Amino acid sequence: MAPARVRFAPSPTGRLHIGTARTALFNWLYARHQGGAFILRVEDTDRERSTNEHELDILADLQWLGLDWDEGPDIGGPYGPYRQSERLEAGSYSQAFERLGQVGALYECYCSPEELEAERQAARDSKQMPKYSGRCRQLTTEERQVFRDAGRRPSLRFAVPAARVIRFDDLIRGKMEFGTDVIGDFIVARADGMPTYNLAAVVDDAGMAITHVIRGEDHLTNTARQALIFEALGLELPAFAHLSMILGPDKTKLSKRHGAAAVSDYCRQGYLSQALLNNLALLSWSAPDATEVMDADEIVRAFSLARVSKSPPIFDGEKLRWFNAQHLRRLDLADLANLTFLQLPPEWSQAISQVGGMERWQRIVAAIRTNLEQLTDVRTYAKIFFELDYDMATRERLATSVSTEIRHAAAAALADRDVLTLDQAKAFVAQVKDEMSAAGHRPKEIFQTLRLALTGQLSGPEVYFLPYALGPAECRVRLSSIDGD
Ligand code: GLU
């Protein structure tokens, strides 16, 4: 069997949202698992709403997610061009119109937008499914001429055969059937000669030798229409797989209301691409062994359409945070430090650049990494290493004779130290604890004093991380900073 060829066909009319990104991902996973090709096709026949910026954004978001394509508008390929506007110019669609005309599957429709809207309204008023009446099907040559003389330009409609059942096997939903009686004759070319989505998609899927069309279930009725076009053109139908719509936690269709954002927003909010990819992959699909946290390679290896469920999946921001935390933990420290460094406020990154550099930042990240769920969380958890602010109660506590004794002992233990390894930092804490226990102080008092003096907070990373990440010099300053009060 020839290797699979699948495509992701975004319209560059907006940003890449979660639902569309998941469609792209499932196509990519299928291609990579099969050793097939993943093709990117830009469907920009809607000239008014399509923009170059949106196309660039979509491509950048796919790249960020790690979904690389084998053929596409930017890299070309043997079936190019990969933008429908360019295919139109190259004449890709005119042959199809000619052929459809020859087999009697097309007719000119002169209905004005107002007439069509009146028809739809009448259907709604009588609680019927709006469906084009087909009234231009029977126009005589003379009647058409009258419309043309009146300045009307026709669109082209596909003449849907009556009383037929369209059948196809959906790889996710099983046997599908659509009676043609509910499908009105649909437009395949607008009055300005532009092909519509259904026509262009068929011509391009056939022309690009697409073997599997994987897309959202909102396209199911389009698939029925497209199957008719494939048939009329004498082309072989590809396999189809329709993914269920994604729901929000309240089980309604996922939308902005749920805080669902574009892929680039998640990037900006400090999510890792591998966490978002992992989460998206588990929207309808699950691994045979039910593993949840996986990187892209693991998912590619385990992926199959057979394990894609037709029940609608739920996208939940909480779950995404959880995936993100898991993937943050999988990163090695240097990578995590590099990624989180980009999230720091300028004062902090400057401070790091001036003293200690990435080596110092890595120490801080080591101290807080288990707290992080988003990259942006470093702004919360790293604060204690850049700013020290004691409230009144803390000052009073640190000023007691017991605390003062502990602070001074700790500062003395760090007297000639320059940098500490993690083991040395642990040894330092143990030393202060032993000395101060011998002096009659309780361990809790000792640790709390150290933590409070070094951070101004009662909770935070393990105490030994504080001298490790702050460094002895800064610790000495903090341990004695209230003495001058
Ligand atoms: N351009 C269409 C969309 O964005 C593509 C649908 C399809 O995959 O055929 O919905």
pLDDT one-digit tens code per residue, 194-223: 999 999 999 999 999 999 999 999 999 999
Closest ligand 1 atom number to CA of residue 23: 8
CA of 9 to the centre of ligand 1 (A): 5
Are 311 and 344 in contact by the 8 Å Cβ rule? The answer is no
How much is the pLDDT for 141?
95
C-alpha distance from residue 436 to each of 37, 248, 449, 461 (Å): 67, 55, 11, 21
Give me ligand 1 centre to Cα 97, in Å. 21
Burial of 417 (0-12, 13-18, 19+ CB in 10 A): middle
Q: What is the mean pLDDT of the chain?
A: 96
C-alpha 61 to ligand 1 mean position (Å): 17
Q: Are 298 and 90 in contact (CB under 8 A)?
A: no
Cα→Cα distances 438→43, 370, 407, 443, Å: 76, 33, 15, 10
Q: How high is the pLDDT of residue 485?
A: 65
Which residues form the pocket of ligand 1, taking CB atoms under 6 Å from any ligand atom? Answer: 9-11, 43, 201, 215, 219
pLDDT above 90: residue 2: no
Give residue-wise pLDDT tens across range 453-466.
Answer: 999 999 999 999 99
| Structure confidence at residue 257 as a pLDDT band (50, 70, 90) | confident
Atom of ligand 1 nearest to the CA of 214: 8
Q: Is the pLDDT of residue 329 over 70?
A: yes
> Of the residues 175, 256, 310, 444, which is catalytic?
256
The predicted-structure confidence for 123-178, as pLDDT tens digits, reads as follows: 999 998 889 999 999 999 999 999 999 999 999 999 999 999 999 999 999 999 99
Look at residue 261 in the predicted model and tell me its pLDDT. Answer: 81
Q: How far is the CA of 284 from the centre of ligand 1 (A)?
A: 19
Q: Which atom of ligand 1 is nearest to the CA of 8?
A: 8
Model pTM greater than 0.75?
yes
* Candidate from 8, 215, 237 with most ligand 1 atoms within 8 A of CB, to mutate: 215
Cis peptide upstream of residue 161 (ω within 30 degrees of 0): no
Instruction: Establish whether 175 is a catalytic residue.
Output: no
For 8-44, write each residue's pLDDT tens digit.
Answer: 999 999 999 999 999 999 999 999 999 999 999 999 9
